[in-house]
Amino acid sequence: MVCEKCEKKLSRIVTPDPWKVGSRNTTQPGGRKVNENKALTSAKDRFNPIGRNFAPCRICRQKVHQAGSHYCQSCAYQKGICAMCGKKLLDTRNYKQSSA
């Protein structure tokens, strides 16, 4: 669960989106370049499970599996907060949620 502001920080995919309207990586101006090798140019955005140390969750201290996040997915869901910045997204007072 990620807020609208943090949705821009999420990683991009290598292949172009088939739906052109509103896609991030079209060949239109402001989109991706023509004849660009995305496997080479997006090396910094690529997921590397070996070379990256993931931070612990700020609530339960287990490893976070999303780059740039401060909260694990289960804690973010239970608290109703954004997993990256911690902004409150929905009110979970009247929800009946299990801990596992």
pLDDT in tens, 42-94: 666 666 666 667 889 999 999 998 888 999 999 999 999 999 999 999 998 88
Distance CA 69, CA 86 (A): 9
Question: In this structure, are residues 69 and 84 in contact, taking their beta carbons and an 8 Å threshold?
Answer: yes
Q: First-to-last CA distance in the chain?
A: 17
pLDDT in tens, 28-39: 665 566 777 777
